[in-house]
Structure 1
Amino acid sequence: MSSGRDEFTYESQNDQRLDELHSKLCTLRGVTTDIYDDVERQNLMLDDTSNSFTSFAGSLANSTKHFTRAFGGTKTWRIILYVCGGLVALWILWKLIGVFWYA
């Protein structure tokens, strides 16, 4: 009689362990699915970012071509003077804003 009871106890423990294992596997499957979805979302975001940078590179190349065409005939020293003049103007503007800001 006790061997039948022991078998029933072992069988019930096995069923309980099997249920626990099934629960853990379901949880693991959910986590795996969440990770997969997140990776797919990040891949799409990276593709969009790559497309944006490609578009920006094309725009920058076009701007450079336009700049070269616009200032191609001028001498290098004239461009340097324009840049220096712009920097000086920005510095003066910054100082004026600083004076009026604290006044």
Structure 2
Amino acid sequence: MSASASASQAYDREAQNDRRLNDLASQLSTLRKVTTDIGNQASDSSFVQSTTDAFSSLSTSIKHSSHRLARSSGVSLPVYKTVFLILIGVLVIYLIWRLV
């Protein structure tokens, strides 16, 4: 009986080792897939390139806008004074209306 018990234990250990080996193989396969996906995404530079192009376009647009603003700021000083006085007037009227 001890020989059959020993054989049974050996069979159980072998089955347990096979399960662990299959689990390890499954985990290794998953790791390989993840590594491959990461490598594929890292080598795909189209997203990075499109983002770089978008920021470049935005930078160019801001430069053009700032140049237009600089050219338009050549307007005479009385126009700025008038706009400033109108804004102050609107602010004062709003504050008075708010207090009442």
* TM-score of the pair, normalised by structure 1: 0.51
- Displacement of 1:66 after TM fit? 3.4
The structure number with the bigger radius of gyration is 2
- Displacement of 1:12 after TM fit? 1.3
Structure 2, unmatched stretches of 5+, are 76-100
Q: Does 1:21 pair with 2:27?
A: no
Superposition pairs of residues 76-95 of structure 1, within 5 angstroms: none
Greater relative contact order structure (CA < 8 Å, 6+ sep)? 1
Pick closer, same or farther for the CA change 1:76–1:57 going to 2, 3 Å. farther
For residue 28 of structure 1, what is the amino acid of its counterpart? Q
Counterparts of 1:34 and 1:44, CA distance in 2: 15
Corresponding residue number in structure 1 for 2:47: 49
Percent pairwise identity = 16
Q: Deviations over 1:55-92 (max 9, x none)?
A: 22222222333344456433488xxxxxxxxxxxxxxx
Structure 1, unmatched stretches of 5+, are 78-103
What is the RMSD of the two structures over their aligned residues, measured on CA atoms?
2.9
Count of aligned pairs? 75
